[in-house]
Amino acid sequence: MTSLEPQAALTMDWEASSPETSPSAIEIAPETSLQADPALRILVISHSHPEISKGGAEIAAFQLHRGFAAREGCVSWFMGCDRRRTRSEIAISQPFGIGDYLYSVGEFDWFKFSNQDPRLPEALTNLLLDLRPDIVHFHHYINVGVEAFAIVKRALPNARVVVTLHEYLAICNHHGQMVTNPHRNLCYEANPQRCIECFQHLAESDFFLRKRYIEHFFGFADHFVSPSQFLADRYIAWGMAEDRISVIENLVNAPLSRGPVRPIGTAGTLRAGFFGQLSFLKGANVLFDAADLLDKEERFDISLEIFGDYRSQPLEFQKELQERMEKLGQNVTLHGPYDQSRVDMLMQSVDLVIVPSVWWENSPLVIQEARRNGRPVISSDIGGMAEKVRDGIDGFHFHVGSAMALAMLLKKIAENRTLLTDVAATIRKVQTADAIVDAHLSLYEKLREPVPETVS
């Protein structure tokens, strides 16, 4: 990536205007009254679609949309993104049925999350003018780009734009994970001086302009939502006004399937489950290192049950994992990838769930899935994980990145199963889908309230 020219970095195809005086490069029809339709009209936009990928963010976004659609007095539509059909002839289509839209992604600048697709402004504007939503809720801004917030305000000035944040993308150029490049140590603060240590081919001015560009289009959003207080605090420290962000948990439905439930604290082998992508940042090495330590001690009363996949990871890491898996001891069982509809049944077959991520995380879906199935969680002691898993109440913490600490904790639990039964009795219940939908609707109504006139 080459150093950005200052003018190009801030404007690209957009004039450097403020949200109050957004440019009018697109001819927009006047916004019409919808007095005949008293329903709250909501468009939920996600960076992907559950029919294409099974990530936590797109699942949460689609479930929120379905929650709105089920409510009397609400009309909801969903738009996901598809990178498989980059630059297809039709920008926005409906392959999954009425009210369910899909944007085929064009060129995208990942440095400042700028959409370079010339089709999007007109296509999204036409969709907005057709649907005329009162609320446009972006459950991510990658693939659609931060400029989409301005497109909404140009097309429908009275619509409210809400943005759910999922990672630290605006803050950190290293995949939004706030770990250093290439050493992957935890990063506690992002600033231009620190960022060029990770990206030496860029200049401090690039990171300064990157932040200015993102902040400019963030200015078109009326409010932000964070699924964890930890993530909200990071964005506030970055410069976001505290009154512009609310903490609302991602929506997780009731268990999708029911199977034989393994009683917590069952005698015999302690079954500890890992669910999700086997990647470095998700703690795959920590997990396998702990398994090696247990194997050397011949602790076969502890079984690590691995439900997940690694095929989407970099080839170098795949090769490393394959070599490690060939040498795993008998206390590890590799089950491979699983269908989302089976996650509850699988979680009910283990005694506890391990979340050994070595980055800050935000609000891992797997923690909510474990909680809704009454399974204690062993998690790293940082970020949103430490917030969602209260040590000794919802599960147990171990020091991030320490395979020794994880192995010792598993041994301690295997030798004293009352630790599990005590925690199982105090696990915080997952918020109901209705409660989370209510929280969003309450926020929307507040945002739609007229701003009181100030008396001079």
List pLDDT tens digits, range 219-237. 999 999 999 999 999 999 9
What whole-number distance in Å separates Cα of residue 35 and Cα of residue 388?
Answer: 43
Task: Please determine, looking at this structure, whether the domain spanning 270-424 carries the CATH number 3.30.460.10.
Answer: no
Q: Please give the model's pTM, rounded to 2 decimal places.
A: 0.87
Q: Name residue 227's amino acid.
A: P
CB 287 within 8 A of CB 354: yes
Please say whether the beta carbons of 329 and 292 come within 8 A: yes
Q: How confident is the model at residue 327 (pLDDT cuts 50, 70, 90)?
A: confident
> What CATH number matches the domain at 6-26+38-253+435-448, 3.40.640.10, 3.40.50.620, 3.40.50.2000, 2.60.120.260?
3.40.50.2000
Taking the mean position of all CA atoms in its chain, how far away is CA 8? 30
Q: Directed axis angle between helix 284-296 and helix 315-325, to 10°?
A: 20
Contact 322, 291 (CB under 8 A): no
User: Do 128 and 156 form a contact (C-beta atoms < 8 A)?
Assistant: yes
> Cα(first)–Cα(last) distance of the chain, in Å?
51
**Among 346, 372, 358, which residue's Cα sits nearest to residue 275?**
346
Beta pairing partners, 92: 103
Instruction: Give 45's strand partners.
Output: 79, 138
User: H or E element: which one contains 380?
Assistant: strand 377-380
Confidence label for 309 from pLDDT (cuts 50, 70 and 90): confident
Q: Is residue 350 helix, strand or coil?
A: coil
Q: How does DSSP classify residue 12?
A: T
pLDDT of residue 452: 66
Hey, what amino acid is at 343? V
Distance CA 237, CA 242 (A): 9
Residue 336, H or E segment: strand 332-336
Lowest mean pLDDT segment, chosen from 75-79, 122-126, 261-265, 362-366: 261-265
Domain boundaries, the chain: 6-26+38-253+435-448, 270-424
DSSP code at position 135 = E
Q: Letter for the amino acid at 272?
A: A
Domains 6-26+38-253+435-448 and 270-424 in one fold = yes
More confident residue, 297 or 22: 297
Over the stretch 41-71, which tens digit does the pLDDT of each residue have? Answer: 999 999 999 998 878 889 899 999 999 999 9
CA dihedral 14, 49, 387, 399 (to 10 degrees): -100
Per residue in 111-137, pLDDT tens? Answer: 999 999 999 999 999 999 999 999 999
Dist CA 321 CA 308 (whole Å): 13
Q: In what order do the strands lie in the sheet with 332-336?
A: 332-336, 302-309, 270-277, 352-355, 377-380, 395-398
